[in-house]
Amino acid sequence: MNQAVETKRRLLELLAGIGILAYLVAFYLAPLDSTTDTPRWTFLFVWLLRPDDLVSEWVGNDASRFGILDRLPLVAATVGILAVAYLLGRIVLEALRLDRLLTKLETAVMATGVGANLLSLATLTAGLAGQLQNRSLFLGLGTLVIGLAGWRYKHWRASESPSITDDRSDRLTQVALACCVPFALLIALGSLVPPWHFDVREYHLQVPKEWYQHGTVGFMPHNVYGNMPLGAEMHAALGMTLLGDWWRGALVGKAIIATFAPLTALALFCFGKRFLTPTIGAVAAAAYLATPWTVRVSTVGLIEGPYGFYFVTAMYATLMAVHGSLENGGSEDGSTNQLRNRLRLATLAGLFAGGAVACKYPALLFIVAPLGLYVTLTPIRTIHWKSAGVFALAVACSCGPWLVKNYVLTGNPTYPLLYSVFGGESRSADKDAQWTRAHGTPQGGITARHAVNELKILTLTSKYISPVVVPLALIGLASRKRRSITWPLAALSMYIFVMWWLLTHRVDRFLFPLLPFAALLVGVGVASFSSKVWLRAMICLFIGVSVASFPFCGSRIVSDNRFFVSLSDLRQDLPNPNDPPELDEVRYSQIHSAHRYLNSAVQPGYRAMLVGEAQVFNIEVPVLYNTCFDDCVFETMMKGRSRGARLRALREQRISHVFIYWRELARYRSPGNYGYSDYITPDLVRREFIQQGILREIPLGLDPANSQFFEVADWQSWDAD
Q: What number of CA atoms fall less than 13 Å from residue 610's CA on the CB side?
A: 25
What is the overall mean pLDDT for the chain? Answer: 90
> Do residues 329 and 454 share a domain?
yes
> Of 504, 521, 553, which residue is a domain's last?
553
CB distance 473 to 521 below 8 Å: yes
Q: Which domain holds residue 219?
A: 14-553
How confident is the model over 475-528, as pLDDT tens digits?
A: 999 887 778 888 888 888 888 888 888 888 888 888 999 999 999 999 999 999
Which of 553, 575, 610 finishes a domain?
Answer: 553
* Together in a domain, 113 and 225: yes
Instruction: Tell me: do 293 and 166 sit in the same domain.
Output: yes
Asked whether residue 382 carries a pLDDT value surpassing 70, the answer given is: yes
Residue 204 domain flag: yes
Counting the structural domains of the chain, the total is: 2
User: Which strands form 607-611's sheet, in the order they lie side by side?
Assistant: 623-624, 607-611, 655-660, 708-712, 695-697
Is residue 8 domain-resident?
Answer: no
188-192, 483-487, 694-698: range with lowest mean pLDDT: 483-487
Segment of 95-109, 208-222, 473-487 carrying the highest mean pLDDT: 208-222
* 634 shares a domain with 546: no
- Residue 560 lies inside a defined structural domain of this protein: no
- pLDDT one-digit tens code per residue, 300-325: 999 999 999 999 999 999 999 988 74
User: Would you say 441 and 425 are in contact if contact means Cβ atoms under 8 Å apart?
Assistant: no
Residue 327's pLDDT band (cuts 50, 70, 90)? very low
Q: Do the domain assignments include residue 343?
A: yes
Q: Are 688 and 641 in contact (CB under 8 A)?
A: no
Residues 198 and 326 in one domain: yes
Final residue in a domain of this structure, among 553, 576, 606: 553
- Residues 614, 627: Cα–Cα separation, whole Å: 6
The answer to whether 145 touches 84, Cβ cutoff 8 Å, is yes
**Is residue 588 a part of any domain in this protein?**
no
- 506, 615: one domain: no
**pLDDT score for 608:** 97
Per-residue pLDDT averaged across 238-254, rounded? 97
Together in a domain, 540 and 402: yes
Rg of the Cα atoms in the chain: 27
The confidence score (pLDDT) of residue 360 equals 95
Q: Looking at residue 703, what is its pLDDT?
A: 86
Render pLDDT for 414-456 as a digit per residue (tens, 0 to 9).
999 999 999 999 999 999 999 999 988 876 667 777 778 888 8
Q: Give yes or no for residue 409 having a pLDDT over 80.
A: yes
396 and 535, same domain (yes or no): yes
How many angstroms separate the CA atoms of 442 and 506, rounded?
A: 8
Same domain, 548 and 597: no
pLDDT band at 331 (very low <50, low <70, confident <90, very high): very low
Asked if pLDDT for residue 330 goes beyond 50, the answer is: no
How far is it, in rounded angstroms, from Cα 665 to Cα 663? 5
Distance CA 591, CA 196 (A): 9
547 and 597, same structural domain? no
Angle made by CA atoms 483, 489, 494, in degrees to the nearest 5: 115
- Per-residue model confidence (pLDDT) at position 336: 56
Q: How many Cα neighbours within 13 Å face the side chain of 172?
A: 27
Query: Sign of the CA dihedral 610, 614, 615, 620?
Result: positive
Query: In three state form, how does the secondary structure of 518-553 look?
Result: HHHHHHHHHCCCCCHHHHHHHHHHHHHHHHHHHHHH
Q: What pLDDT is stored for residue 328 in this prediction?
A: 43
DSSP assigned state of 514:
G
What is the predicted pLDDT for the residue at 357? 97
Q: Which of 542, 561, 541 is nearest to 553 (CA)?
A: 561
Between the CA of residue 468 and those of 23, 176, 294, what are the distances in Å? 9, 13, 14
User: Taking Cα atoms as reference points, which of 59, 183, 74 lies closest to residue 547?
Assistant: 183
